[in-house]
Structure 1
């Protein structure tokens, strides 16, 4: 990126335009911008705020309660990504459930969970399916394969979400969205382009130092022009159409539903669930999981952090009562969480 002979870094450091708030929608962006030292290059009038792009962080307390219920009351084997194990529920985390005899098995993909179910037919296996458009196709593939192989002891507890409705809910919370490149690789850029008509500006960013610097420099350059804009700064991966194959797969197995986001409440049409014909792989239906209300620790401000209303360091328990070793909220637990990033890189 250059403006005349200026590099992206020079454009960022030399920015003398109006104050601007840029929301890093993606938790990985938050961590990388901290880790690479990019925040230190920003002028005072450029503020980076965190958004809801960490799947573990936006997963509500009630979901953890459901998983604990399945582990302890239904004696199923829970297959999960490691980040979820220590996320606090209303009363217990999955780590607590494990200490009480619940079987919690760490996996690295839905395929691992489906394989575990195949190899352990004597166990009822539930995969905790959380994430956005990037990871949803893999969950669908695991269900499709389970059906093809006649595996009946496998199901998913689903908390997959879609980003478009979150963008709508967050309109006005920032001047510019730093869109997550891996999500847009699946969804394409059409929605982001349409949001410009509603006054929402944004740039799609990759994850290397060069890609992030380019995206920020482009964002600041366009912002000074005073008109809403969208630029795809990750064209080597992101196209206008996205991945049609992944979109078709998800649409075949899943349908939209209302979904609760930590901090944002219920966002209509922002969740996914298996269609009725795939219902035998829906853990809520299979085990008749009762509705859970979920009660977050009132001292935790994860909800405000996820909306960009405060920085993690503004929370009274941050770095004191709430640490990676003893997390009070999900944003400190997750490897993509804003509180985790601030704790690792941003404490003064």
Structure 2
């Protein structure tokens, strides 16, 4: 009867002795949780976890920061933004640096907060830095819809919204399997991941608790040993096949696909979102007639390679030396979801 007793996820993981497996945790929150929970310390040496591009702040290109600084310093715009964007380096300075030169930068917790700030300060032009994946984009769309309904003329978005499907395809072959971000697929559903199996892409959707992550890793290891491409939803309490229809609906109403530049991955066709023509008065680039900006990142920074799984943060020659959370050289050390900040905080030499 003993052969019928199911192994625990921990037993499956620790017992693996096959060829080397590379598993990419696409989501930055997964990276941090895997470190925090000590999961890397129990992995066999032939299982390598690599970080991917699932941190929206990290994949936002340098030129976007330069645009925001241009708006603040040259157009006297009040910038409303999430806190982790303030210290991301631009070509010459960060928003924190611009603030020291007189720029007005307000930290907000949601796009609706930025809308409310604009409504309460009609004498200021207010721009919200709309950065994020499918999870946060609906709230940006809602803020624009409310602004249009209120005829609010002093509110706009500077958009850098991105979508994951094209990124998954761009990363094809970089890992044996993906740990897909649970919060993204709570919005989009599972159809995309299921279709990617036909393209030879394997992965599982998982949540963020120890049990959920361990179960997902055990599923990946088991299925990779069986051979063939696969997909499994290991987060069914939150993720359904169809996702959130309400969130999908407001995004399709307000925004449309566009090409987008990803740090490390370059320009990926139809991987971004921009405001539709009917809402162009809320597009900061259109409203303030911004020129095309090509940012220049610090050549010592290897964030781009980290985001593609080509190297570990600790492989970067400035990691922990010239680049620390207090003095970041690149976005991956700034963001709360960044791989470099996770390696720095938790000690990145633990099996990874």
TM over 0.5: yes
Task: Determine if contact 2:186/2:243 at 8 Å carries over to the other structure.
Answer: yes
Task: Determine if contact 1:71/1:102 at 8 Å carries over to the other structure.
Answer: yes
For the residue of structure 2 that corresponds to 1:224, the secondary structure is helix
Task: Determine if contact 1:64/1:87 at 8 Å carries over to the other structure.
Answer: yes
Task: Give the CA deviation at 1:4.
Answer: 3.3
Distance 1:166 1:228, change over 3 A: same
Equivalence for 1:48: 49
Equivalence for 1:177: 178
Task: Determine if contact 2:342/2:348 at 8 Å carries over to the other structure.
Answer: no
Q: Does 1:327 align with 2:344?
A: no
Taking the TM superposition and a 5 Å limit, the aligned residue runs for 1:264-275 are 264-275=265-276
Structure 1 unmatched ranges of 5 or more: none
Select between 238-247 and 305-314 the one with higher mean Cα deviation.
238-247
Equivalence for 2:90: 89
For the residue of structure 1 that corresponds to 2:319, the secondary structure is coil
Equivalence for 1:39: 40
Inter-partner Cα distance in structure 1 for 2:285 and 2:348: 41
Inter-partner Cα distance in structure 2 for 1:48 and 1:4: 28
Task: Give the CA deviation at 1:248.
Answer: 1.0
Task: Determine if contact 1:25/1:178 at 8 Å carries over to the other structure.
Answer: yes
Inter-partner Cα distance in structure 1 for 2:178 and 2:137: 22
Equivalence for 2:108: 107
Equivalence for 1:202: 203
Task: Give the CA deviation at 1:15.
Answer: 1.3
TM-score for the superposition, normalised by structure 2: 0.97
Instruction: Give the root-mean-square deviation of aligned CA atoms.
Output: 0.8
Count of residue correspondences: 346
Task: Determine if contact 2:115/2:143 at 8 Å carries over to the other structure.
Answer: yes
**Runs of 4+ in structure 1 displaced over 4 angstroms?**
none
Equivalence for 2:254: 253
Inter-partner Cα distance in structure 1 for 2:147 and 2:161: 19
Equivalence for 1:188: 189
Task: Give the CA deviation at 1:164.
Answer: 0.1
Inter-partner Cα distance in structure 2 for 1:132 and 1:12: 31
Taking the TM superposition and a 5 Å limit, the aligned residue runs for 1:1-348 are 4-348=5-349
Task: Determine if contact 1:214/1:233 at 8 Å carries over to the other structure.
Answer: yes
TM-score for the superposition, normalised by structure 1: 0.98
Task: Give the CA deviation at 1:249.
Answer: 0.7
Inter-partner Cα distance in structure 2 for 1:347 and 1:166: 25
Inter-partner Cα distance in structure 1 for 2:169 and 2:162: 14
Deviations 1:263-311 (A, max 9, x none): 0000000000000000010000000111101000000000000000000
Inter-partner Cα distance in structure 2 for 1:343 and 1:51: 17
Inter-partner Cα distance in structure 2 for 1:4 and 1:48: 28
Structure 2 unmatched ranges of 5 or more: none
For the residue of structure 1 that corresponds to 2:226, the secondary structure is coil
Inter-partner Cα distance in structure 1 for 2:303 and 2:27: 15
Task: Determine if contact 1:18/1:224 at 8 Å carries over to the other structure.
Answer: no
Inter-partner Cα distance in structure 1 for 2:104 and 2:89: 17
